[in-house]
Structure 1
Amino acid sequence: MSWFYLFIAGLLEIAWAVGLKYTEGFTKLMPSLWTLLAMLGSIGMLGLALRQLPLGTAYAVWTGIGTVGTAIAGMVMLGEPAGAMRLGAIALIVTGIVALKFLSPG
């Protein structure tokens, strides 16, 4: 169950990172509230995952999911560049996340 919590925490990290773009410096009420709720949910789920997972592994996977998801969201939703080197770097991060999953207890 801890890996599920960590996965949800990563998805919520993507949500709040993307949400920051729409808050316009926290001047828009609804995007700001949703972003803050996603932040709290992400930290809360990470906390649940840390009950059983090693700190270093959980944090690396959490930030990795957030990094990959946010980069992909930027490309898909905001028209950010998706060059071969950038996609290759994202693939390396995904490889690291998968390796940590299979090499870690829990």
Structure 2
Amino acid sequence: MAWILLAFAIATEILATSALKLSDGLTSLPWSIVTTTGYIASFVLLARALKLQLDMGTAYAVWSGVGTAAIALIGFLFMGESLTPLKIGGILLIIGGVIVLNLAGAH
């Protein structure tokens, strides 16, 4: 159940960060509301996942790492941002780090 909550926390954080870009510096009220609501929901879900005994370091690394990689891809696919080989390498390092943290916690 903790991993399901963490997955929803990641999804709401990705939604909030995407809306933050669309909010035009928080000047667009609808997108600002989506941003604020998404971040609050994400932190609540992350807190509940931690309450269910998910390791804090692993949970935060997965939450932030997957969110960062997803936002980089969303920026490239939908918002006209560049995706250079260096950025791709960084995303792969993030994914690798999340995998290593999960393997380290699986004992």
**Fold in common (TM above 0.5):** yes
Report deviation, 1:3: 1.2
Instruction: Indicate yes or no: 2:60 matched with 1:55.
Output: no
For residues 49 and 80 of structure 2, the distance between their equivalents in structure 1, rounded to whole angstroms, comes to: 33
- What CA deviation, in whole Å up to 9, does each residue of 1:25-58 have, x standing for no partner? 2221111111111111100110111011111111
How do 1:24-43 and structure 2 match up within 5 A?
24-43=24-43
Q: Which SS does the other structure have where 1:50 is aligned?
A: helix
For residues 45 and 77 of structure 2, the distance between their equivalents in structure 1, rounded to whole angstroms, comes to: 26
How do 1:1-106 and structure 2 match up within 5 A?
1-51=1-51, 52-104=53-105
Preserved CA contact (<8 Å) 1:11 1:65: no
What fraction of aligned residue pairs are identical, expressed as a percent?
37
* RCO higher in structure (CA 8 A, sep ≥6): 1
TM-score by length of 1: 0.89
Letter in 2 for 1:86: K
- Stretches of structure 2 that go unaligned for 5 or more consecutive residues are none
For residues 15 and 100 of structure 2, the distance between their equivalents in structure 1, rounded to whole angstroms, comes to: 24
Q: Which SS does the other structure have where 2:77 is aligned?
A: helix
Report deviation, 1:15: 1.0
- Stretches of structure 1 that go unaligned for 5 or more consecutive residues are none
